[in-house]
Amino acid sequence: MTVFKKLSVCIVSLLVVMQLQGCVAAFGAAGAMAAKVANDRRTVGTQLDDQNAGRAVAYQWAKSDALKAQTNLQADVYNRVLLLTGQAPSQALIDEAVERAQSVSYIKKIHNQIRIAEPIGAGTQANDIWLASKVRAKIIADERVPALQIKVIVQDSEVFLMGQLTNLEATTAVDIARNITGVARVVRAFEII
């Protein structure tokens, strides 16, 4: 076999292995998602409706040029409860964001946690992503808390926790998050069951 043929066989073999690894990763991700959906205390229909409601709120905000240009807003829905987070430079813009969110009829309750401030920059957003991953990791590692029932949102080092938990589970989750370096504040948006 020539050197060229040997090299070609090696390259093709490497590509096949890489493709198979991609399949394993895809199956692993699909399995993890199926486990999350199956172990959620919400019905599958409610999970989908929550996702759609979050998108509906974002769509309402997108209709406003002022909200698009001047704010950093996030809408998270868990069991028909909407958590609004982010920054807006004025109370008028916050009021507009809340009013537009209220137009989504699926929502039964709104927690407005939008702060009057200039939108955070990319560096702060990156830190928030890192902080959220630390909070999730600590919650997953603690057997007292059903990690799959908790949604973690971080905005400007503030941690917001959503989900359906018992009072003890909620208190434990808040204590875990509160004791992580870099967390400025923890806000409970739980539905206590």
* Predicted pLDDT of residue 32: 47
- Cβ distance 187 to 83 under 8 Å? no
Contact 109, 98 (CB under 8 A): no
Q: What is the pLDDT of residue 65?
A: 97
Whole-number pLDDT of residue 145? 95
Q: State which amino acid sits at residue 14.
A: L
Q: What is the mean pLDDT of each run of 10 residues along the chain (193 residues)?
A: 52 56 52 59 95 98 97 97 98 98 97 98 97 97 95 97 96 97 97 92
Kindly report the pTM of this predicted structure: 0.79
- Per-residue model confidence (pLDDT) at position 39: 75
Q: What's the rounded Cα separation, in Å, for the pair 134 and 116?
A: 26
What is the gyration radius of the CA atoms in the chain, in angstroms? 21
φ/ψ of 122, rounded to 5, equals -65, -35
Give the pLDDT score at 17.
53
Predicted pLDDT of residue 110: 97
Q: What is the pLDDT of residue 175?
A: 97
Say what the pLDDT of residue 167 is.
97
**60 closest CA partner among 47, 45, 77, 43:** 77
C-alpha dihedral sign at 180, 41, 156, 136: positive
